[in-house]
Amino acid sequence: MDLPLPQFQKGWQIVKGGVPKDVLKFRDDLPVPSELPKGHVLVKVLTAALNPVGYKSMSLPSFVVKRPRIAEHDLAGEIVLANDTEFNVGNEVFGLVPAELSFKTGWGSMQEYAIVPAEGLVLKPSNIDFTTAAGIGLAGQTAYEALIEIGKLEEGQRVFVNGGSSSVGTFAIQIAKAKGARVDCSASANNFDYVKSFGVEQVFDYHAKPLEQQLIEAHISPPYNIIFDCVDATVPLFVNSAKYLAPNGVYVSTGPNVHDISGLPKLLHAVFRIYWPRLLGGVPRSFKMFLFKSEKYKLQYLADLVSEGKLKPPVDSVFAFPDLPKAYERILSGHAKGKIVVQLL
């Protein structure tokens, strides 16, 4: 049976293009939807989490993203309208409003009652709380897609994660370990203990000297089967990769860390260096850049790993709902170790 719902709700809207501190507006008069499109449910959001796409998309032009639009995508909460889906009212779930859907509809996760496709949700494992579950959806699926679907990771293989302390990186390390792979990564020296707590063997300090130089000097043997670059499309790391990536290995990248249009020259340079043909002296290794696609089976894979105790979703910090601007300051620092979670509880 559906629960009685209020008429209005609180939420954070993006009202114009720009950076978080200038474009976010707290509203307490947003209507609570009572009718939902087929295949969608209404979730009472208890926790929501930030991702880089959340602030990067704020500066996109309004012909690409709808405005006003509710901020962010990841969430955890309870089903309040099940709308003839596989869910029941009261189910505890986590997942996301995918970015492409949010751009079209204006829906998002930073509000008390969110419309979410049933495909974007799975039941929350009982061994984690809502705060821990909030940030699994986007970063977890990205790591899954990179290693399992693109990298075709197998037991016993070797993986290098560039950006081991990042959210995506921390999910990747744990997914790789659960698959029986050996994992090395890059991180700042002060994060060595953190990444090692997830089972990383060798950590390289990316501030010490160029990473490609460190990997060449380390004589990686056998070479890596997958390099997963989740902090940038790091051109020198790929250009030199024949020295530490197996001939049939793959360099997988989440893409260049471009915040706005000013990053375009860097992007073009990276594309030119990376995709220069092998026949003309290009890099003799495979390079795959991807945009993850949200799918229920990926969320379920992550939920199962959590239930089995093989995946501990990383939480960097927790903010109260009215403090969303402070949460954005934290993610914009670039130094978070895991997810930044906002509590609506």
Ligand X SMILES: NC(=O)c1ccc[n+]([C@@H]2O[C@H](COP(=O)([O-])OP(=O)(O)OC[C@H]3O[C@@H](n4cnc5c(N)ncnc54)[C@H](OP(=O)(O)O)[C@@H]3O)[C@@H](O)[C@H]2O)c1
Query: Closest distance between ligand X and the C-beta of residue 192, in Å?
Result: 10
| H or E, element range at 250 | strand 245-253
| Identified binder of ligand X from the candidate list 272, 276, 334, 345, rule CB under 6 A | 334
| Identified binder of ligand X from the candidate list 17, 106, 199, 255, rule CB under 6 A | 255
**String marking each residue 163-192 x if it binds ligand X according to CB under 6 A:** x-xxxxx----------------xxx--x-
Burial of 217 (0-12, 13-18, 19+ CB in 10 A): exposed
Pairing between β-strand 40-49 and β-strand 339-343 as defined by DSSP bridges: antiparallel
Burial of 251 (0-12, 13-18, 19+ CB in 10 A): buried
CA distance 287 to 277: 12
Question: Which stretch in 86-94, 217-225, 243-251, 334-342 sits in contact with ligand X by CB under 6 A?
Answer: 334-342
| Identified binder of ligand X from the candidate list 109, 131, 142, 174, rule CB under 6 A | 142
Residue nearest to ligand X (CB): 188
Question: Which stretch in 16-24, 148-156, 158-166, 266-274 sits in contact with ligand X by CB under 6 A?
Answer: 158-166
Query: Closest distance between ligand X and the C-beta of residue 253, in Å?
Result: 8
Q: Does 327 bind ligand X (CB under 6 A)?
A: no
User: Two tokens at 319?
Assistant: 């903010």
Torsion angle, CA of 147/125/317/231, rounded to 10 degrees?
10
Q: Does 336 bind ligand X (CB under 6 A)?
A: yes
Q: Rule CB under 6 A: which of 282-321 touch ligand X?
A: 290-292
| Identified binder of ligand X from the candidate list 118, 245, 331, 341, rule CB under 6 A | 331
Question: Which stretch in 49-57, 90-98, 123-131, 274-282 sits in contact with ligand X by CB under 6 A?
Answer: 49-57
Q: Does 337 bind ligand X (CB under 6 A)?
A: yes
Cβ within 8 Å of residue 95, ≥6 positions away: 74, 75, 76, 116, 120, 121, 122, 137, 294, 299
Instruction: Look at residues 158, 172, 205 and name the one whose alpha carbon lies nearest to residue 311.
Output: 172
Cβ within 8 Å of residue 151, ≥6 positions away: 159, 225, 226, 228, 250, 252
| Identified binder of ligand X from the candidate list 41, 115, 122, 231, rule CB under 6 A | 231
CA 66 to chain centre: 21
CA distance 285 to 245: 8
Q: Rule CB under 6 A: which of 78-137 touch ligand X?
A: none
Residue ranges binding ligand X (CB under 6 A): 51-53, 138-139, 142, 162-163, 165-169, 186-188, 191, 206, 230-231, 254-255, 257, 290-292, 331, 334-337
